[in-house]
Amino acid sequence: MPIQMQLARIIISELTESQVIYLREVDGEREFPILIGIFEATNIDRRVKEDGYQPPRPLTHDLVVRTAEALGATIHSVVISDLSDQIYYAHLRLETDQGEMIDIDCRPSDAIAVAVTFTPPLPIFIAEHVLDEATSSMP
């Protein structure tokens, strides 16, 4: 059963290539980091901190949302579905106008960036086995 998570922290450092976001259980104590790129980190950070932030031109994450809407689909949630060799895998869950659920493979950072383009942000879920594995190696 997937576990609902929330964005807990975003750590941006201009001195390194990898930025860090932390996800925490909505109804629990566990949290874990995911390394992401600077573009995704700054976009997520702006959307979270600046209520109603709209970039001057659409970003890739806006394009994904607009494309789904133009095709009659609704983006419902983000699911972090797997962890292999320290790489997280995710997908966006979309519903077509015919009611069919579709999973679109993507990086967790892109999925979370899409999630925060919505107000309120879309739900973020993680597969229980992924959360167990991600938090078992943490101090």
Paired residues of 5 in beta bridges: 25, 124
pLDDT tens, residue by residue, 92-114: 999 999 999 999 999 999 999 99
Which pLDDT belongs to residue 139?
Answer: 58
The Cα–Cα gap between 113 and 62 comes to: 9
CATH of domain 3-136: 3.10.690.10
Average confidence (pLDDT) over 70-76: 94
**Taking CA 91 as the corner, what is the angle to CA 89 and CA 94, rounded to the nearest 5 degrees?**
175
Q: In the sheet where 101-106 sits, what is the strand order?
A: 31-36, 19-25, 3-11, 124-126, 74-84, 87-95, 101-106
Length of the chain: 139
pLDDT at residue 61 in the model = 84
| Distance between CA atoms of residues 80 and 62, nearest Å | 20
